[in-house]
Structure formats: structure tokens, C-alpha cells
Amino acid sequence: MACIRWCAMALAMAAVPAYAQQPDTAKLREEIKQLQQRLDELEKKQQETENTAVQAAQQASSRPQSESALNPAVSAILNGVYGNLQRDPDTYRLNGFVPTLGDVQPPKRGLSLGESELGFMANVDHLFRGTLIASISPDNDAIEVEEGYIQTLALSHGFTVKAGRFFSGIGYQNQIHAHAWDFTDAPLAMKAFLGGQLNEDGVQVKWVAPLTAVYVDLGAEFGRGRAFPASDRNKNGFGSSNLFGHVGGDIGTDYFWQTGLSYYSTSPQDRVYTDLDSTGTSVDNSFSGTSKLWVLDGILKWAPDGNATYRSLKIQGEYFHRKESGTLTYDTAGASLGAMTDSYASRQSGWYAQAVYQFMPAWRVGYRYDQLNAGTTTLGLVDSGALTAADFPILGAYNPKRHTAMVDWSPSEFSRIRLQVARDYARQGEPDNQIFLQYIVSLGAHGAHKF
């Protein structure tokens, strides 16, 4: 650089005497101007060379030297809870609804480590993307695959296909990992109708409509039916199916919405649950028949100018409606009054609505209301007089409900501390006051901002 300057100056000086004799200073100026231009060009060229060199050096230094360059993105989610519950969480039940054998209990009393989550994600090749998310339960040392699926990248016309284990596209919140929920625990309706959260082993095909004014998708899932409301049936073909569709869009720059409808159907065989019969004996009862579940969901988000950094509001609600019909076998093991089978039919529903308001950066408050409607359950064994309603206490008509409020603080995008209080009327006649203090942090790969 210095050399160029000096050379140019020397040239300029050399040029000066030659023209000094001539009175035409305009020409001299022109000459100097040209030299200046050449100088600028040279400097620019040198700058560019330097830039390229810097870039090359940067790329060389950032180029990893080992195979680890192609490691998938790895993330880990840690969460811990302090629970203060009026009633023993081990006795948790939703009166009026068939127990699901799912993960529906509230967190433990006292301090506990929640499920830790480990995620690996990467493009497999130019055709597929792979995702594996495992949850590690701290108490029974079990590792469970929450999601493990491949997804197509190379289909066109709005189609994507997913295969493996994934959170089923039933309703809205079922597809979201627990660490990204706005409350510590699942809505009662998810506990009653999906056994907490339903992940299915199956195939999903989704199509996004070629529209720009509004978002429309349609999809279908076919699965093995590995968990409630299905029963793993050990048969070829499909054990469960789910059809869904969504419509969504923006209203101006401040509002975003989406609504969806899904229809899940399965035919469980010998789906067992445990209850205390009229003699006080713990008996196994089992259901065989068809189970159909409709879920209607809606989300509305607001943020001034669509900028959720400072203030935002999210309103979310889902309505579940289930119809089951078939046969119920009482006391399959013959532990009490002996096995008996007759018809079973039920129509039940439930819903929740919640609002979460971010009133300043990092701080949010939220409220959720849960309501289940036990609807009608018709038991052939009771109608025929073979047994009484007292032999099926858990199915007795009762409408659970719950109030939940929370406040959380997220100092960065990667950490959140939440305080939640709830009054839970899940057990008939035994309301439960629950307080949870929870942290959730994420390590590694940047999380996705799902709508």
C-alpha cells in the first residue's frame, strides 16, 4: 500500500516540472486527476486482493479438519421442577374417563429432574432429512424415543412425507415438544384423550395447497396404533389413521392465525385399564371396539407490527370429541366377581383455552382453563343388571376442570424459569392445589420457532 502511494507521488512530482513551464494549469490538473484515479483503482484492487485473502484465510481456518464436520446438529434440553402438591401425584386420576396408562401424572412433590431430551438432526442426503429426539427419564433409567423420523426434502408440489416415530398431527399442542409448551403440564383434554401426548410409529403424507393468500394443508397419517387410544394389536397393515387439515394466515401485520381439524380413528383390541370394583378389589377391565376422535384447534397470535420482541399475545384453544363403541369385559383376570362381557358406548368431550401475554422482553404471564365433559357412557353390564355402576367407579359421570396460571422469565432464547399455580379438579371431590417452579434450558443447536 505504502509503495503504491509513494510511486504515485513520485510520478506526480515527476509530472509537475514537465508541465510547470506551460501556463496551461488545466492540463496539469487533468493529469493529476488521472493519476489520482489510477491511485484509487490500484488501492481498490489491493483492497480487493486483501479481502479475498482474508476470506480465504477465514474459510481455511473455519474448515474443520476431521469427520466431525458432518456431525448432525445436536441439542440437549434440561429441565427441573420443584413441585408442591396438596395431594399425592401417584393417586392422580381423571374421574369420568377411562385411564389411559399414559404419562398423565403431575410432576413429583419436592425437587425432581424432569425428562432430559437429546436431539440429533441433519440432512441425510439430497433426498431426506433425519431427526432423532430421545427423552431420558431420570427415575427408571429408561431412554425413550420420542421422535425418530425421516422426512423428504426433494418432493415438489407441496408434498412432504414423514416416516418413523413422530408426534401425531392431532390438534395443535400434541405436535409440540413439552419443553416448548407454555405451561408445565399438558391440558387435561390431552391427558384424557391422548394419554398425555401421542407419538405414533407410522407414515405421514402432507400437502400444502398452492395458494399464497391463505395457507391450506391436508394430511393423512397411518400408524401401528402403538398407544392409547389404540392398543398395539400385533397385526399387519395399519392400526390407526389420522386425517387432518389446517387453514391459516396473517391479518394485516399484527395478527397471525391458524385453525385445524383432525379425525383420528382406531380399533383397539383388549385395551386394559384398572379400576376398583364394588367389593373394593382391583380389577382389570378391557375394551374392544372402535374409537374415533375429532379435534378442532385454533391459535391466534398478536404482536405490534409483527415484532414479538417486546409485547405479544398468544391465544390457543382445542376441542376434543371422542366416540367409542364396542364391548367391555369386566375383570378379565377373574380376580373378583369373574369375567363378564357386554356392550360399551361412550360420547365424551373436553376443551381448554389459554392465553399467554408477553408484557415486556423476557417476561410472560398466562392463564389456562381446562374443562372435560364425561358425556354419556352406556355399559351393557350395568343396563342388564349383571353389575352396578359402583363396579366401574372411574367411569362415573364427573366433569373434571382446572384453573392454571403461570409467569415465566426467559433471560435469553435458551433459558426459561417458570412459576405455575393450578387448582385441579381432576379427582372427584378432591380438588388439588399445585405449585410448580421449573427451569428449562436448551444446549447446542438453535431451537426452531414453530408457529
Partner 1 sequence: MRIFFGFLVFLLPFKVFALNVFACEPEWASLAQELGGDKVSAFAATTAKQDPHRIEARPSLIARIRGADLVICSGSELEIGWLPLLFTQSGNDRIQLGSPGYIEASQYVVKLEVPRVVDRALGDVHPAGNPHIHLDPRNIQRVADAVSGRLAEIDPGNADFYRQRADSFRDRWQTAIKRWQQEAAPLKGVAIVVYHKDFSYFINWASMREVGSLEPKPGIPPTPSHLAELVEQMKRNPAKVIVYSAYNNPGAAQFLSERATIPTVMMPFTVGGTDRAKDLFGLFDDTIERLLKTVK
**H-only helix segments in 141-279:** 188-194
Grid coordinates in use for 166?
413422530
Separation of CA 233 from chain center: 27
Question: Would you call 27 helix, strand, or coil by DSSP?
Answer: helix
Nearer to partner 1, 51 or 376 (CB): 51
Nearer to partner 1, 64 or 338 (CB): 64
Nearer to partner 1, 101 or 362 (CB): 362
Residue 433 beta carbon to partner 1: minimum distance, rounded to whole angstroms = 34
Nearer to partner 1, 235 or 359 (CB): 359
Q: Which residues pair with 409 in a beta bridge?
A: 363, 417
Residue 311 beta carbon to partner 1: minimum distance, rounded to whole angstroms = 9
Nearer to partner 1, 214 or 365 (CB): 214
Cα distance between residue 258 and residue 283, in whole Å: 44
Q: Which residues bind partner 1 (CB under 8 A)?
A: 51, 54-55, 58, 62, 123, 126, 129, 151, 153-160, 206-217, 246-250, 253, 256-258, 301, 305-310, 361-362, 411-414, 446-451
Residue 3 beta carbon to partner 1: minimum distance, rounded to whole angstroms = 22
Cα distance between residue 241 and residue 265, in whole Å: 6
Nearer to partner 1, 34 or 309 (CB): 309
Q: Which residues pair with 276 in a beta bridge?
A: 282
End-to-end Cα spacing for the chain = 53
Nearer to partner 1, 14 or 360 (CB): 360
Tell me which residue of 272, 247, 243 sits closest to 258, measured CA to CA: 247
Nearer to partner 1, 191 or 206 (CB): 206
Residue 221 beta carbon to partner 1: minimum distance, rounded to whole angstroms = 16
Residue 121 beta carbon to partner 1: minimum distance, rounded to whole angstroms = 9
Residue 131 beta carbon to partner 1: minimum distance, rounded to whole angstroms = 9
Question: Would you call 148 helix, strand, or coil by DSSP?
Answer: strand
The answer to whether 188 and 350 have CB atoms below 8 angstroms apart is: yes
> Virtual CA dihedral for 222, 227, 228, 230, nearest 10 degrees?
50
Rg (C-alpha) for the chain, rounded Å, is 32
Cα distance between residue 192 and residue 349, in whole Å: 9
Residue 255 beta carbon to partner 1: minimum distance, rounded to whole angstroms = 11
Residue 156 beta carbon to partner 1: minimum distance, rounded to whole angstroms = 5
Q: Which residues pair with 412 in a beta bridge?
A: 415
